[in-house]
């Protein structure tokens, strides 16, 4: 092989290497773009899932709080009714006691 042929062969190989490098760089950029896009899509998907789960948890907590609130209100209403009944009974006894003392004071 002559020097010219050898140089020509080297130039051909160098051109092939440049082409291969350029193609590899384009493929690398394309792969990076795809990976970034997929990562963004996954991030959005997980964000939506997290928000949905948050709403479920809050809704369940609100239902539980409402149930507990109703139980407390029912117990408080029962206590109020019982106290009202006791108060009325005490008023009747107090009236009877005052009237008895008043009558006793008038007779004396």
What does the DSSP 8-state code read for residue 16?
A: H
Token digits of residue 33:
């773009």
Token digits of residue 4:
């010219």
Mean pLDDT taken over the chain: 92
Q: pLDDT at position 88, please?
A: 82
pLDDT of 7 strictly over 70? yes
Contacts of 1 (CB under 8 A, 6+ apart): 9
Segment 34-47 mean pLDDT: 98
- Evaluate if pTM is beyond 0.85: no
Q: pLDDT at position 108, please?
A: 64
Give per-residue pLDDT as tens, 59-71: 999 999 999 999 9
């Amino acid at each position: 092989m002559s020097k010219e042929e050898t140089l020509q062969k080297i130039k051909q190989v160098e051109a092939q290497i440049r082409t291969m490098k350029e193609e590899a760089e384009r493929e690398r950029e394309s792969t990076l773009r795809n990976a970034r896009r997929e990562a963004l899509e996954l991030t959005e998907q997980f964000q939506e899932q997290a928000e949905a789960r948050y709403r479920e948890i809050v809704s369940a907590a609100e239902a539980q709080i409402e149930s507990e609130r109703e139980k407390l209100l029912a117990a408080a209403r029962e206590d109020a009714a019982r106290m009202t009944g006791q108060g009325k009974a005490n008023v009747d006894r107090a009236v009877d006691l005052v009237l008895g003392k008043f009558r006793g004071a008038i007779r004396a």
